[in-house]
Amino acid sequence: GENVEQHPSTLSVQEGDSAVIKCTYSDSASNYFPWYKQELGKRPQLIIDIRSNVGEKKDQRIAVTLNKTAKHFSLHITETQPEDSAVYFCAASSTTGGYNKLIFGAGTRLAVHP
């Protein structure tokens, strides 16, 4: 089955700096890669996703890159703000039928210091 590894487990940056979180996946059939942000005590929320036919996607300060050959994808956050502090999860899915079977990475705890 799919296995997703995520690094680093914790990341501490100064406000305004960039943050990068990296994930690798094992199943070459995986074709959908979302990123979720989970604040303490709250639900995971989808912040950006990328499909296997695209190499890069950007949404304001957030971007995701995908390298299918290396089975590697990354989340980039620029101009970080204290409200970006949260746990970020990457996930991968080899979609089939009418659903996604998302397998999550272990998570990265991001702390943005003012």
Chain residues that interact with another protein, rule: CB under 8 A: 31-32, 34, 42-46, 49, 51, 89, 93, 95-107
Omega prior to 8 cis, within 30 of 0: yes
| Smaller CB separation from another protein, 42 or 114 | 42
Q: Are strands 10-14 and 108-113 parallel, antiparallel or unpaired?
A: parallel
Instruction: Kindly state the smallest distance separating residue 47's Cβ from another protein, in Å.
Output: 9
| Smaller CB separation from another protein, 16 or 106 | 106
The two three-digit tokens of residue 49, written as one number: 């996703």
| Smaller CB separation from another protein, 79 or 106 | 106
Give the span between the Cα atoms of 72 and 22, in whole angstroms: 7
